[in-house]
Amino acid sequence: TSFGFKEVPEEEKSKLVGNVFTSVSSNYDLMNDMMSAGLHRLWKDRLGRLKLTRASLQPNTPWLILILLFVNVFSRLVSKLHPFPGMKHLDVAGGTGDVAFRVLESINSVSRRAMQHGLAETEEETQIYICDINPNMLNVGKKRAIERGLGENHCLHWIEGDAEALSFDDGSMDGYTIAFGIRNVTRIEKALAEAYRVLKRGGRFLCLELSHVELPIFKQLYDYYSFSVIPAMGELVAGDRESYKYLVESIRRFPNQEAFARMIVDTGFQKVEYENLVGGVVAIHSGLKL
Ligand code: SAM
């Protein structure tokens, strides 16, 4: 189905993506306030002990309202990463810091457990690099790091950069994550090749992305939410219907779960697999560089 959207030429895509995230970052708090208002109680009931906070919501993904009702996708991503003390991790398109904060939390809890069991801590210091093309989004993340008391944390490094041309050395990372980011990259193959290049042998690639829903009734509800509710919300909150329409369109254009898995295999990754969450609203793809 085309849903009446026109093709976006490659050169326009980068500009559109820039506009979306500039618009989104400046309306970040308002958008979150709006979206959390009515659903606050529901989240609490549903998520119980998962400790979902308003600050853990994403700026451009009203889809997350839907997803977070069922499952905490970031925790799922991080549990698949198996973070460890001393690791060098790169989170691409990570402006908001959400993934990086969770990786750090997870590493700290591994360290605490190791110490409780009298196991020596690694000498090497954990390094988490948060790379994003948009400085406004990096500022959102830095601000949130300060709010979390992580402003002076030496493990976190905020770096402006493009997923398609990373500034990191070959074979320098133990892990690579990209959450709700690869869909916005102009040449996905280039971003995948860069992920492969910067990972060490044995390094793990993980990608969390909005994907394709095929379940009949759920698909229709989801389409209504995407094509009617989201653009209306974008207009109301950010005064920017087009950017939010673009976000919906970019999800539809993104390769489906199987096709994306094949792209990851073609890059050279092994043991490639994916997991659908919430019926495919979101999928986590993983691969190893062996
Ligand atoms: N990963 C974060 C999260 O889930 O909280 C932020 C996701 S946000 C939806 C998408 C991010 O991708 C934006 O911060 C945007 O600036 C970034 N982005 C878009 N194109 C990029 C590129 N080519 N390289 C790096 N980051 C990019």
Ligand 1: residue whose CA is nearest its atom 2 = 94
Domains of the chain and any CATH numbers:
10-288 (3.40.50.150)
| Ligand 1 site, residue 58, Cβ cutoff 6 A | yes
The pLDDT, as a whole number, for residue 229 is 83
Six-digit token string for 67: 């997803």
Distance from residue 90's CA to the centre of ligand 1 (Å): 13
Q: Are 233 and 244 in contact (CB under 8 A)?
A: yes
> How confident is the model at residue 111, as a pLDDT?
86
Q: What is the pLDDT of residue 19?
A: 59
The structure tokens listed for 75 are 């925790």
pLDDT at 70: 58
Contact 73, 277 (CB under 8 A): yes
Q: For ligand 1, what atom is nearest to the CA of residue 134?
A: 16
| pLDDT value of position 150 | 92
Q: Is 132 in the pocket of ligand 1 (CB under 6 A)?
A: yes
User: What does pTM read for this prediction?
Assistant: 0.81
Which pairing describes strands 270-277 and 282-288: parallel, antiparallel, or unpaired? antiparallel
| pLDDT at 22 (0 to 100) | 59
- Is residue 24 within 6 Å of ligand 1 at its C-beta? no
Contact in structure between 149 and 108 (CB atoms under 8 Å): no
pLDDT at 9: 61
Instruction: Give the pLDDT score at 65.
Output: 63
Pick out the residues of the known binding site for S-adenosyl-L-methionine.
96, 132, 162-163
Euclidean distance between CA atoms 204 and 82, whole angstroms: 9
Q: Mind listing the pLDDT tens digit of every residue in the chain (290 residues)?
A: 333 334 456 666 666 665 555 555 555 545 544 444 433 333 333 333 333 333 333 444 566 666 665 567 888 999 999 999 999 999 999 988 989 999 999 999 988 888 888 776 666 789 999 999 999 989 989 999 999 999 888 999 999 999 999 999 999 999 999 998 998 899 999 999 999 999 999 999 999 998 999 888 989 998 988 888 888 877 877 677 887 788 788 888 999 999 999 999 999 999 999 999 888 988 999 999 99
Query: Letter for the amino acid at 94?
Result: G
| pLDDT of the residue at 12 | 63
The pLDDT value recorded for residue 173 is 98
